[in-house]
Amino acid sequence: MRSQASVLHLDLDAFFAAVEQRDKPSLRGKPVVVGGVGGRGVVATASYEARVHGVRSAMSTREARSRCPHAAFLSGRFHAYREASRVVMGLLREVSPLVEPLSLDEAFVDLERADLPDLEVPTVTDFAQDLRRRVHEATDGLTASVGLATSKLVAKIASDLDKPDGLVVVAPGTEQELLRPMRATIIPGVGPATAERLRRAGIVTVADLEAAGVDELVRLLGRAHGGGLHQMARGRDDRAVVAEREAKSVSVEGTYDTDLSDLRLIEGLLARQAGEVAARLRAAGLSGRTVSIKVRFHDFTTLSRSMTLASPTDHGPTVARSARALLAELVAGPDTGPQVRAGVRLLGVGVSGLADWVQEDLFADTEADDEAEDGELPEPPRARHLGAWAPGMDVEHAELGRGWVWGAGRGVVTVRFETRETPAGPVRSFPDDDPALTPWSPAEPAEDDAVSGPA
């Protein structure tokens, strides 16, 4: 643990939904839900206006619609998210060479390598306030919450304390004062199973963890887990901020507040993660042969499965199909199947064996893929068939210009004509095979900084 608050954690607020509100003037200040929009879809991000109604990440889209039926439900636009992430990560690298992205929307920054006169609390506070202002300006209005502390652990916790658009600086020596009143589940590694085990021993808060002592925690949880919690309960975390290295794999994973036991929901989450992995591969001009999944159960047992394809791919449905097959293998196991049904707290999808070329799957069942990938966040569809108009996707009309898909069905696509730079625009409907209406996406840059780590 450092002697000065020189570790900064920046987290863009409700990132996917905030980008959609920024780029769609008619949605500003209104509830927005981004994720799979079909019956098996899963919420990726909800705007704060939607969260008021109880909508949250990893919730099924069906439940989100029942809680907030007036929200705008949109599929993902990874080109827009990558562009915003690229701007923010570039800004962070301007202030320090040690930037460790955790996902598209969050990163650690080592201020010991920043060009600051000193690292006293007033100096780093002023710096963080200015950084948030620069992020807001550079991204045309996105906000970020920032935590500053003497360790990664406390900085990340701090960034979540005053959302959205917040700044929390934990002065050196006050870490335990901050942590003690919090529930023990704020500490990484204290999931539902561990929390229940601790609760039975009378340990509910971080203060209880601290008072228990290392011997009691080791007795309850084992040497590695118990010893680690003993350190973290005191705010001790010596992990360094590590700048990203050349990617050997591309992966996405998520930890969920509530254990997941619905297999259809788990499949939907894996499919969405597979779509994001594939999007990152394409953005970097890469492909991979080995698809893997990672599953952490309610009791913190972690298992992984992988398969190697005949040729490299960057195709979302192919990655998703492989991930679902690996999940089916886990569920079929006599030991692992009951664990899956008892509760899953973390899921991840990765692709390794990276190459810079792709062999198309000439025998892929594209119609089946389209139906199966309802739970993923796809790239803007390329109109492979007449129904490929995803809610929220960018389009362009030969006469009316750019807009986005407001809705589609029964041979009709409805478009609201507006962009980030225009006021809220008019709504028009067209036949879904109208040759004047086409999907729109910007030219990809030569390099993409988004292939750096899990989300």
Helix (H) or strand (E) holding 157: helix 152-159
- Compute the residue count for the chain: 455
The residues near 64 (Cβ < 8 Å, ≥ 6 apart) are: 33, 35, 43, 46, 50, 55, 71, 73
Give exposure, 226-236, as e/b (b: 16+ Cβ within 10 Å). bebbbebbbbb
Dihedral of CA 394/396/400/401: which sign?
positive
Q: How many helices (H) and strands (E) does the chain have?
A: 14, 17
Order of strands, edge to edge, in the sheet holding 427-431? 427-431, 412-416, 401-409, 394-397, 437-439
CA distance 387 to 113: 51
Long-range pairs, 335-338, Cβ under 8 A, ≥24: 336/303
Catalytic residues: 106
Q: Give, in order, the Cα–Cα distances in Å from 324 to each of 58, 117, 190, 271, 376.
A: 17, 52, 28, 8, 12
Beta carbons of 36 and 375 less than 8 angstroms apart: yes
Beta carbons of 412 and 309 less than 8 angstroms apart: no
Q: Is 295 helix (H, G, I), strand (E, B) or coil?
A: strand
Beta carbons of 171 and 195 less than 8 angstroms apart: no
Helix (H) or strand (E) holding 221: helix 206-221
The residues near 38 (Cβ < 8 Å, ≥ 6 apart) are: 61, 374, 375
Look-up of token digits 């935590």: 147
